[in-house]
Amino acid sequence: MLIVSSKFLKGNYMRKVQLLFSILLSIIFLLVGCVPRLVQNENPPSKIDSEETIYPTEVIPTATQNPLSTEPQQEAQETAMPIIETLQPENNMFTYALDQKKIDQFCLEAPQIHILTPLFLGDYYMATVLEQRNLSSVSTVDATISLLHPTEFPNGHPGGWVEIAYPWYTYGISELPSGLGDWNLHLVNLKDGTNTIIGNRELYNSTALHTYISLQSNTLYLSASTFDGFEILTSRLYAIDLATKKSTLIIDSQDKDTFMSFISASNGYIVIENDPPKSDVGRYLTLFDLSTNTWRDLPQTYPASVPSMEYPYIVWKNNNRFETPTSLTIFNIETGESIVREVVGTFSFDLSISSGYVITEASTGKDPSRNSVVMYSLENGDTYAIQIGINEVSANGAYIDNGNVIWAFTTIANADNYSSYICKLPLEEVFSNSVEGIEVLH
């Protein structure tokens, strides 16, 4: 690995880029929720023609109830498991150069707008357009932008919660960009075009800032917490059946020192981030097994935050929530083994698992802006950095769909003349045309 050190990066140019980058990152934190997670995708209908609101059914006030099982429930208990923690092994590292010619081939350009978290839906991408404060469709042919989901609140804003598990996807609408006002969580069925509001502030008595989701093929998991100042009043986790829209309480936390925030579910497990309301320091993770209603240990150091799960793997960053990740832990539920890996690059964004890779955006090479999509293979440990061949850009929303890496990036050098790009790059193209080594800016 080469380390670049330059007086040029410490001057006015560096401060200018970092300021622009910080402003854009702040906007992303306010408006964007989770990175899209794709299970299966087909061409959707182009029109959503009905909408209804589903209220939660009566919940079962217990921390042990499993809504997905018809077997008698057993008392939940803390269950230890064998854990083997190892340091990061030696891995191969590669760089793919996305130069201007390849940008023209694999990316769509949309001038004078900021696009965030593009979600591939066949003939178009669903994406957040900051200037229009709405969820839009972006044509995969010519980048034509059309209003897809209008906000139902006066001066409303996209509220994140964008996840997909075909034929379903979710999105949120917030009354205020801060997430402190009213909000609606929508569930869309791509087969029949129905659009149902399955959560809001009234139903779950929580603000958008303290509501988190994880979408699976037949169930939506939702955590919601309420407060009196810094005092935790409630912290609960619900399972919503996508077919019936029935909401059932599965965990009612009795731990008043922390509340449940980020969640990620896969194959009958839910990993949960537990947050103290007065501090960013004491965050830690717990793993709940729905099939046995038991808790399982995780090989974590403290703090640990922002977990992502794709069975049998769980990944999290070994930092506080709002810190740039410097290392990550990959844990295998089946084997009990964990690996701690250094995060490549600087200005790295939060990590997620996508189709067998841990994926994030970061700064690598000589450009101090977030100019790369970095992928860590769960199978063999290899690392790939897709470096964007345009200076002063900010990449976001990276994930893998059917053998393609999809993400957006925006040029940030000029506040009056800028563009966003949506890229869909085949993994085979990355593997076949990468060179050995990653030059990393420190």
Distance CA 118, CA 169 (A): 13
User: What angle is formed at CA 338 by the lines to CA 335 and CA 339, rounded to 5 degrees?
Assistant: 135
Minimal CA–CA distance to 275: which of 216, 332, 212, 338?
Answer: 212
Which whole-number Å values give the CA distances from 396 to 34, 147, 363, in the listed order? 11, 21, 12
Q: Which amino acid appears at position 322 of this protein?
A: F
Third-level CATH fold of 2-67+77-441: Methylamine Dehydrogenase; Chain H (2.130.10)
The pTM of the full predicted model, rounded to 2 decimals, is 0.82
pLDDT digit string, tens, across residues 229-250: 889 999 999 999 999 999 999 9
SS3 labels along 323-353: CCCCEEEEEECCCCEEEEEECCCECCCCCEE
Q: How far apart are CA 52 and CA 69, in angstroms?
A: 28
Beta carbons of 96 and 434 less than 8 angstroms apart: yes
DSSP assignment of 255-284 equals: -TT-EEEEEEEETTEEEEEEE-TT-SS--E
From 58-67, 262-271, 322-331, 428-437, the region with the lowest mean pLDDT: 58-67
More confidently predicted of 297 and 198: 198
Share of the chain above pLDDT 90, in %: 63
Q: Using one digit for the tens of pLDDT, what is the confidence trace for 202-231? A: 999 999 999 999 999 999 999 999 999 889
Q: How do the domains of the chain map onto residue ranges?
A: 2-67+77-441
Q: From CA 375, how far away is CA 377, in angstroms rounded?
A: 6
Q: Give a three-class secondary structure readout of 89-119.
A: CCCCEEEEEECHHHHHHHEEEEECCCEEEEE
Burial bucket for residue 268 (CB in 10 Å: 0-12, 13-18, 19+): middle
Neighbouring CB atoms inside 10 A of 336's CB total 15
**CA-wise closest residue to 21 among 280, 324, 424:** 324
Residue 427 and residue 404: Cα distance in Å, rounded? 5
Write out pLDDT tens, residues 92-107: 999 999 999 999 999 9
